[in-house]
């Protein structure tokens, strides 16, 4: 996008053919700190320079404005028609309006003859989502570029009202990117501002909170109606926590953040993506406060595939003390999940709305196939050396491939111990689950198609004796059969060991081989 933040100070740049062309209405180069616009501190936080794109609302006139830029993508025709390119739109959006005045940027995909092939848009941030603050929220989205697209018309829309206020945007972006959404980071905090030290909103980040309803505020520890500073020190809570604002029109508020999981589609549909959630929840004295975190999975159309709640923490849980208690959970993304919605819900019981939240955390991992986390490791390889690592426990094979498995005791504590290797075959994307009471075992005797590949406990093993954990790794090689097409096979090793943490067995991590 040419002049994406209007830093030129004017909507039209006569010297550049890429300049905006106004379809209708009028725009202004808004100045941070100007009437109805975000303060200079927001401009500094987002790196937005001095200006932003804003609607124009002369006295007594309600304005709707739209400008466009047209991008010729004919030079990318081969990649587009092969499904190899996507369009990524991004921008920071906001408004100071109490009405339906919003800003957005959209794209219209056009054929060589100007026929419309599809559209996309982002923005339309409401004042509620902005926590009733005059600020910005960063948003982005990806969309595959339709076959036969030769032009992309970008349309920026902005509304303004002389009474209700302005809408505005900054740092707009449109980029051609390779097909396939990038995966989210693993073993890394996904939430921006999870501890609310920067307030409620995070204008500079796409991973900050928005609000569904109500008004929230970040307040210090150590006030008469908040937990003492000693609690903050004990939980590494910083100086602030979240609560319902005294200016909220309701005694219930809900914050949300949506993450796109499409980049992990393969792992998700084979049961391989885990979500670790954590949050500190609390309230005031013996009041009937209510706070919870909800982890909600949906498919691409927004239909629910299941949710999990952390909390609430009640006054009874807190012993009628003004404090916070931690709640955690580990969940596996269900097959078909493409969106992860995180919700923080707070409900107050008194005039000061004393429900509290701090230190929220969402981390993705591939620990859905963890064993007992002791000294037994399973590695796998397809037509090559066995490997293990993040998301390396899910591999794809075709009939005739050679599957190599290695079971080893990295520290040597289980060397020469009798070894069991199990596998179970199941419909792709529908893992058998763990037996009741044994979450570290991923083959399930209650389900069909379970096989013992190595039996070091009951098998005599002939002249060489029963299978054992060989120093450096016990190797097992298998030919991938035709019958695995459309199916998955999960493999896991066990060693019976009285010195194990559970005094019965040590289980390795499990690996899944997906037949294609």
- Euclidean distance between CA atoms 212 and 140, whole angstroms: 19
**Strands of the 339-347 sheet, one edge to the other:** 210-213, 252-260, 339-347, 290-298, 304-310
Per-residue pLDDT of the chain (516 residues; tens, 9 = 90+): 988 888 888 888 788 888 899 998 888 888 999 888 899 999 988 888 889 988 776 544 557 889 999 999 999 999 999 999 999 999 999 988 766 678 999 999 999 999 999 999 999 998 899 999 999 999 999 999 999 999 999 999 988 776 667 889 999 999 999 998 889 999 999 999 999 999 999 888 888 899 999 999 999 999 999 999 999 999 999 999 999 998 898 889 999 999 999 999 988 988 889 999 999 999 999 998 889 999 999 998 899 999 999 999 999 999 999 999 999 999 989 989 999 999 999 998 766 668 999 999 999 987 668 899 999 999 999 999 999 987 788 899 999 999 999 999 999 999 999 999 999 999 987 888 899 999 999 999 999 999 999 999 998 778 889 999 999 999 999 999 999 998 999 999 999 999 999 999 999 999 999 997
Q: Measured between alpha carbons, how far is residue 87 from residues 131, 183, 266 in Å? A: 30, 16, 22
φ, ψ for residue 423, nearest 5 deg = -140, 155
Q: Walk me through the domains of the chain, giving residue ranges and CATH numbers.
A: 21-178 (2.60.120.260), 210-365 (2.60.120.260), 370-515 (2.60.40.10)
Find out whether 26 and 65 touch, Cβ atoms under 8 Å. yes
User: Which residues fall within 8 angstroms of residue 93, CB to CB, at 6 or more apart?
Assistant: 102, 103, 104, 122, 123, 124, 125, 136, 137, 139, 167, 168, 169
Q: Where are the alpha helices (DSSP H) in 110-151?
A: none
φ, ψ for residue 143, nearest 5 deg = -150, 130
- Say what the pTM is: 0.81
């Amino acid at each position: 996008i040419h002049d994406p933040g209007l830093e030129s100070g004017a909507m039209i740049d006569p010297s550049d053919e890429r300049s905006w062309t106004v379809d209708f209405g009028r725009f202004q180069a808004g100045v941070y700190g100007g009437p109805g616009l975000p303060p200079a501190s927001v401009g500094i936080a987002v790196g937005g320079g001095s200006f932003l794109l804003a609607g124009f609302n002369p006295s007594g006139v309600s304005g709707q404005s739209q400008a466009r830029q047209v991008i010729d993508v004919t030079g990318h025709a081969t990649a587009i028609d092969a499904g190899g390119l996507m369009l990524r739109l991004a921008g920071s959006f906001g408004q100071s309006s109490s009405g339906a005045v919003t800003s957005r940027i959209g794209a219209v995909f056009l054929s060589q003859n100007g026929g419309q092939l599809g559209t996309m848009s982002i923005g339309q941030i409401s004042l509620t989502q902005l926590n009733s603050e005059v600020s910005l929220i960063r948003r982005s989205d990806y969309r595959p570029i339709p076959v036969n697209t030769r032009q992309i018309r970008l349309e920026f829309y902005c509304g303004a009202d002389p009474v209700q206020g302005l809408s505005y945007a900054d740092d707009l972006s449109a980029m051609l990117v390779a097909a396939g959404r990038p995966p989210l980071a693993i073993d890394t905090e996904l939430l921006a501002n999870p501890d609310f030290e920067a307030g409620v909103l995070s204008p500079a980040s796409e991973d900050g909170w928005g609000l569904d309803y109500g008004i929230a505020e970040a307040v210090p520890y150590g006030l008469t109606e908040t937990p003492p500073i000693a609690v903050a020190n004990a939980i590494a809570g910083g100086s602030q926590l979240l609560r319902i604002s005294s200016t909220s029109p309701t005694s219930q508020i809900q914050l949300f953040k949506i993450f796109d999981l499409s980049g992990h589609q393969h792992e998700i549909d084979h049961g391989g993506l885990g979500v670790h959630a954590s949050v500190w929840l609390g309230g005031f004295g013996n009041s009937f406060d209510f706070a919870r975190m909800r982890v909600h999975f949906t498919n691409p159309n927004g239909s629910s595939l299941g949710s999990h709640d952390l909390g609430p923490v009640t006054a009874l849980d807190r012993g009628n003390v003004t404090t916070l208690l931690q709640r955690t959970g580990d969940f596996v993304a269900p097959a078909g999940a493409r969106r992860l919605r995180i919700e923080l819900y707070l409900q107050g019981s008194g005039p000061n709305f004393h429900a509290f939240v701090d230190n929220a955390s969402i981390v993705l991992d591939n620990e859905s196939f963890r064993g007992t986390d002791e000294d037994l490791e399973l590695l796998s390889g397809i037509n090559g050396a066995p490997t293990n690592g993040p998301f390396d426990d899910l591999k794809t094979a075709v009939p005739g491939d050679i599957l190599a498995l290695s079971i080893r005791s990295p520290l040597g504590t289980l060397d020469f111990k009798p070894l069991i290797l199990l596998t179970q075959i199941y419909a792709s994307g529908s893992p058998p689950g763990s037996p009741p009471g044994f979450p570290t075992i991923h083959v399930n005797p209650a389900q069909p198609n379970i096989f013992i590949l190595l039996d070091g406990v009951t098998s005599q093993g002939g002249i060489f004796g029963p299978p054992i954990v060989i120093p450096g790794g016990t190797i097992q090689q298998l030919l991938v059969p035709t019958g695995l097409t459309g199916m998955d096979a999960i493999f896991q090793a066990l060693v019976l060991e009285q010195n194990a943490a559970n005094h019965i067995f040590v289980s390795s991590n499990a690996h899944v081989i997906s037949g294609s």
